[in-house]
Structure 1
Amino acid sequence: MKAAQINHYKQTTLTLTDTPVPVVGAHDVLVKIMAASINPLDLKIMAGGIRPLLKYHMPLTLGNDFAGVITEVGAQVTAFKVGDAVYGRAPKDRIGTFAEFIAIDHTAIAFKPQNLTFTEAAAIPLVGLTSYQALHDIMQLQPGQKVFIPGGSGGIGSLAIQLAKHFGAFVTTTTSPQHFDLVRSLGADKIIDYHQQNFADVLTDYDAVLDTRGGQDLQAAFKIIKPGGHVVSIAGLPNARFGKSYGVPVWKQWLFALATRPLSRLEKQTHATYDFLFMHPSGQQLTILNELLAQGTLRPIIDRVMPLDQINDALQYSHSGHATGKIVIEVATTSADQNAH
Structure 2
Amino acid sequence: MAPSEMTALALNQRSWLEILFNAIQGKGISHGVSVKKVQRLSIRPSELLVKVYSVACNPTDVAHIDIVGPAHSIVSCDYSRVVEEVRAAATELWKVGDRIAGVVHGGLFPDKGAFAEYLKVPSDLAWRPPPSMSHQNASTYGISAVTAMQALYTKLDVPWPGSNNSTPTNSTILVYAGSTTASLFAIQLSKLSGYTVVTNCSPHNFDLVKSYGADAVYDYHSISALEDIKKDYPNLKRAFDGISLKESTRFCFSAVEKSGGKVVVLLDTVKAGRKPGVEIIYILMYTLLGEPFAFVKPIGPSFKAEPADREALEKFYKNLRLKWCQEDLTVCWEH
The verdict on a shared fold, with TM-score over 0.5 as the criterion, is yes
The alpha-carbon deviation at position 156 of structure 1 amounts to 0.5
Question: Matches of 1:157 and 1:299 in 2, distance apart?
Answer: 12
Question: Matches of 2:184 and 2:227 in 1, distance apart?
Answer: 23
Amino acid at match of 2:143: L
Matches for 1:4-43 after TM superposition, within 5 Å: 4-7=9-12, 10-11=29-30, 14-43=33-62
Aligned residue for 2:237? Answer: 207
Contact 2:11 2:70 in 1 (8 A): no
Secondary structure of 1:63's aligned partner: coil
Change (3 A) 1:80 1:300: closer
53, 62, 73: which is aligned to 1:60?
Answer: 73
Contact 1:152 1:161 in 2 (8 A): yes
Aligned residue for 2:281? Answer: 275
How high is the sequence identity, in percent, across the aligned residues? 24
TM-score between the two structures when normalised by the length of structure 2: 0.72
Contact 2:176 2:183 in 1 (8 A): yes
The alpha-carbon deviation at position 96 of structure 1 amounts to 0.6
Question: Matches of 2:200 and 2:10 in 1, distance apart?
Answer: 34
Aligned residue for 2:153? Answer: 136
**1:67-98 CA deviation, whole Å, 9 max, x = no partner?**
12111123433332221211111146654111
Matches for 1:299-310 after TM superposition, within 5 Å: 299=331
The alpha-carbon deviation at position 17 of structure 1 amounts to 2.6
Amino acid at match of 2:75: L
Secondary structure of 1:76's aligned partner: helix
Aligned residue for 1:177? Answer: 203
Question: Matches of 1:157 and 1:275 in 2, distance apart?
Answer: 16
Contact 2:50 2:84 in 1 (8 A): yes
Change (3 A) 1:284 1:91: farther
Amino acid at match of 2:103: R
Aligned residue for 2:304? Answer: none
Question: Matches of 1:199 and 1:61 in 2, distance apart?
Answer: 42
Aligned residue for 1:2? Answer: 7
Contact 1:159 1:298 in 2 (8 A): no
Question: Matches of 1:178 and 1:13 in 2, distance apart?
Answer: 37
The alpha-carbon deviation at position 64 of structure 1 amounts to 0.8
Change (3 A) 1:151 1:301: farther
Give unpaired runs (5+ residues) of structure 1: 238-258, 303-324, 326-341
Change (3 A) 1:61 1:16: same
Q: Which runs of 4+ in 1 moved over 6 A?
A: none
Question: Matches of 1:117 and 1:236 in 2, distance apart?
Answer: 34
Q: Is 1:72 matched with 2:85? A: yes
Question: Matches of 1:21 and 1:125 in 2, distance apart?
Answer: 23
Contact 1:213 1:236 in 2 (8 A): no
Aligned residue for 2:3? Answer: none
Matches for 1:42-53 after TM superposition, within 5 Å: 42-48=61-67, 51=68
Contact 2:50 2:119 in 1 (8 A): yes
Amino acid at match of 1:58: A
Contact 2:184 2:212 in 1 (8 A): yes
Higher relative contact order (CA 8 A, sep 6+): 1
Question: Matches of 2:100 and 2:53 in 1, distance apart?
Answer: 10
Change (3 A) 1:294 1:10: farther
Contact 1:211 1:233 in 2 (8 A): yes
Secondary structure of 1:135's aligned partner: helix
**1:250-294 CA deviation, whole Å, 9 max, x = no partner?**
xxxxxxxxx82xx64xx3422x32222222143432121332233
Q: Which moved more, 1:217-226 or 1:6-15?
A: 6-15
Matches for 1:86-101 after TM superposition, within 5 Å: 86-91=100-105, 94=109, 95-101=112-118
Amino acid at match of 1:22: L
Question: Matches of 2:244 and 2:29 in 1, distance apart?
Answer: 20
Could you say which structure has the larger radius of gyration?
2
The alpha-carbon deviation at position 301 of structure 1 amounts to 8.1
Aligned residue for 2:20? Answer: none
Aligned residue for 2:212? Answer: 186
Aligned residue for 1:315? Answer: none
**Which structure's residues are more often helix, by fraction?**
1
Question: Matches of 1:183 and 1:84 in 2, distance apart?
Answer: 32
Amino acid at match of 2:264: V
Secondary structure of 2:190's aligned partner: helix
Amino acid at match of 1:157: S
Question: Matches of 2:219 and 2:118 in 1, distance apart?
Answer: 42
Give aligned pairs, total. Answer: 271
Question: Matches of 1:200 and 1:6 in 2, distance apart?
Answer: 43
Change (3 A) 1:72 1:200: same
Aligned residue for 1:322? Answer: none
